[in-house]
Structure 1
Amino acid sequence: MSASRQPRRVRLKDVAEKAGVSVGTASDALSGRGRITGETRQKVADVAAELGYVANALASGLRTGRTRTIGLHRQSPTEQLDKPYFRQFLAGVLEVGQRHDYDVSILSANADMPRSTAARVDGVIVVDPLSDDLRARELMLSALPVVAGEHLPPGLPECEVVAVDHRRALSELLAPEAARGVTRPLLVAPDEHSGWGNLLRDVFDAWAADLGAAPAHGYVRFGGWDDKEGFREVLQPMLQADEEADFVLVSSPYGVLAGLEFLAEHSPTRAVRFASAGPDVGGLLDHVPEVGFVDLPARALGAACAERLIELLEAEAGSARVSGTTLIEAPVHLPQ
């Protein structure tokens, strides 16, 4: 018995012949490119549907140089995959990529070594850009469209930015503390390599200046979101040296816990209020309702970054590379 023959795959040429147009016109009609009348575009689409034509992505990529893949760059991504924030950001990117039929690739991320080959993607999202990340800088200087998923620190090349509106959220978070008469505020946040850390200091210092207070700063490693011991190493000497400190803003709820645990052990009668510029994770702050926090919308931010990058990729070829900022609102949970 002879083996059954597989039906021949419908080619773009077959669609073009039946629609009475050239192969180039059929390709442009199905991809949404070119100056084609709506009637012709619809006719080609109808014929493609009738014949069961499915585009060969590999062949299309060879013709156009496009991969229909967007890259995701984050310093130390393997370290971050167990962090809820990065997983939610990635989920938002994947959701949008699926909707637009784009694959998502996590790029190799050795921050100290240049790439040996070009990234095989159409564009890149740089998550939480850091000024000392060599590969982030390399990508931003490349010909690829780049969207930064958070504010840029000084020194990085300009690119399109989609970020949380931290300024508005922090202003809302800090307003009740001003009403309580804060006199000596402390801030513990990522260092100057982080655009987010720099923005936290700008907003915090302006708020303190309005109070007539002189703030003190502590610095933690960016990415050490759940490093409670790291926060404690920074907070302990600050709280010991400054007995007048009465309010502390930290970049993570783990910093809140580190500060409260230290005070409970060494100064149980001392009254110091805390707030977190980052979201509560797993109900860490459930037992301390007097602590406010910003609920950073990681999934919405990832989705917005992917939407903006795909919008840039789908723009007419030759469009100017743009650099602007889109802000995403973040819910603020005020102390109870």
Structure 2
Amino acid sequence: MPDSRQPRRVRLKDVAEQAGVSVGTASDALSGRGRITEETRRKVADVASELGYVANALASGLRTGRTRTIGLHRQSPTEQLDKPYFRQFFAGVLEVGQRHDYDVSILSANTQVPRSTAPRVDGVIVVDPLSDDLRARELMLSPLPVVAGEYLPPGLPECEVVAVDHRRAVNELLAAEEERGVSRPLLVAPDEHSGWGNLLREVFEAWAADLGVEPAHGYVRFGGWDDKDGFRQVIRQLLEAHGDADFMLVSSPYGVLAGRELLLEAMPGREVRFASAGPDVDGVLSETPEVGYVDLPARALGAACAERLIERLEAGPAPGRAPGATLVPASVRLPR
């Protein structure tokens, strides 16, 4: 009969005994914690490698309360998984998680109902925080470290922010439009629940004030990235109310497409230029070089959020560090 017995797993205690240190010192040496000399760290690491020791993450988690898992929260995540932007953001987080040996968990999120249990993660990235998202608020008020992946809207608790440098990118796009001549600019952006929407309005209004013109706004539901019917309705209302408008900045390339189609179908002869504050998702603007857009770096943003969160988890928040924004640059395609 074959021997079904499995070889005994090498334990941390075995590594400690072989290296001539305590179990606590061996644990600190292998995890990078504690005040230990480099010579001791190397000795313990060499012994662990020689014995074939593999850390038991479950046992470690029981001792430390750590799961080595970071959570990803986004309002309506099941809808967003269809969107290229969220998939790219998620991929950036996964890349960093893999590099640091952290799992990534997408949190289930009924944003109108409080959680009944705390999420089993060490920290959370809140993607595109919205002020009417009850669970985002809960997470930011919890003891868990939280990093927001985009600007916070008013009303949400403060936390660290990693965001795209929209201000620089949008100003670059608007400067190009200014050179082409603008007399009556319009903006279609997410409402006040979105920190990104609020920033777009701030930048747009400051630009219009410098031009000495009065801007007008229309609002769309945040997350309705490809809701062409919704954009079409808002854009029609704006164009009908402002017959002299000659330029419109829209938060999505699908909104640009909806506006251009509206002009062709229902307002022939009307000339309005468009630009998108969002990237050319699905190539909808690839054949329209006269339309500029901001190419939002979703993957780089997700990676930067994960790096910052894991840095906090590994080292803890720096003493006296105030919440602030770490900016990720975005490229701009200027109109031709």
Q: Deviations over 1:275-296 (max 9, x none)?
A: 0000001221122210000000
Q: Deviations over 1:103-140 (max 9, x none)?
A: 00011211101100011100000000000000000000
CA distance in 2, matches of 1:317, 1:11: 32
What residue is the counterpart of 2:80 in the other structure? 80
Helix, strand or coil for the counterpart of 1:104?
strand
What residue is the counterpart of 2:15 in the other structure? 15
TM-score computed with the length of structure 2 as normaliser: 0.98
Answer whether contact 1:145 1:321 (CA < 8 A) is retained.
no
- Quote the offset at 1:4 in angstroms: 3.6
Aligned partner letter, 1:332: V
What residue is the counterpart of 1:216 in the other structure? 216
CA distance in 1, matches of 2:216, 2:300: 33
Helix, strand or coil for the counterpart of 2:281?
coil
Aligned partner letter, 1:200: L
What residue is the counterpart of 2:185 in the other structure? 185
CA distance in 2, matches of 1:316, 1:176: 43
Query: Within the alignment, does 1:55 sit opposite 2:55 as a pair?
Result: yes
- Quote the offset at 1:266 in angstroms: 2.0
Matched ranges for 1:101-180 at <5 A: 101-180=101-180
Answer whether contact 1:89 1:300 (CA < 8 A) is retained.
yes
Helix, strand or coil for the counterpart of 1:282?
helix
Helix, strand or coil for the counterpart of 1:70?
strand
Helix, strand or coil for the counterpart of 2:263?
helix
Helix, strand or coil for the counterpart of 2:283?
coil
Q: Deviations over 1:200-258 (max 9, x none)?
A: 00000000111111000000000000001110011111111211000000000011011
What residue is the counterpart of 1:331 in the other structure? 331
Q: Deviations over 1:47-91 (max 9, x none)?
A: 000000000001000111100000000000000000000000000
Helix, strand or coil for the counterpart of 1:105?
strand
Cα distance, 1:316–1:329 mapped onto 2, change above 3 Å: closer
What residue is the counterpart of 1:298 in the other structure? 298
Query: Within the alignment, does 1:260 sit opposite 2:260 as a pair?
Result: yes
Q: Deviations over 1:173-207 (max 9, x none)?
A: 00011122211111000000000000000000000
Structure 2, unaligned runs of 5 or more: none
Query: Within the alignment, does 1:246 sit opposite 2:224 as a pair?
Result: no
CA distance in 2, matches of 1:262, 1:282: 20
Helix, strand or coil for the counterpart of 1:144?
coil
CA distance in 1, matches of 2:2, 2:172: 75
Aligned partner letter, 2:176: P
Q: CA RMSD in A?
A: 1.2
Cα distance, 1:33–1:74 mapped onto 2, change above 3 Å: same
Runs of 4+ that moved beyond 6 A: none
Cα distance, 1:201–1:162 mapped onto 2, change above 3 Å: same
- Quote the offset at 1:317 in angstroms: 8.2
Answer whether contact 1:91 1:299 (CA < 8 A) is retained.
yes
Segment drifting more, 7-16 vs 266-275: 266-275
CA distance in 1, matches of 2:295, 2:97: 24
Cα distance, 1:321–1:54 mapped onto 2, change above 3 Å: farther
CA distance in 1, matches of 2:217, 2:272: 16
Aligned partner letter, 2:15: V
- Quote the offset at 1:5 in angstroms: 2.2
**How many residues are aligned here?**
336
CA distance in 2, matches of 1:86, 1:317: 27
TM-score computed with the length of structure 1 as normaliser: 0.98
Structure 1, unaligned runs of 5 or more: none
- Quote the offset at 1:3 in angstroms: 2.6
Answer whether contact 1:140 1:146 (CA < 8 A) is retained.
yes
Aligned partner letter, 1:253: P
Segment drifting more, 257-266 vs 129-138: 257-266
Segment drifting more, 260-269 vs 210-219: 260-269
CA distance in 1, matches of 2:289, 2:179: 18
What residue is the counterpart of 1:311 in the other structure? 311
CA distance in 2, matches of 1:106, 1:305: 15
Cα distance, 1:200–1:29 mapped onto 2, change above 3 Å: same
Aligned partner letter, 2:287: H
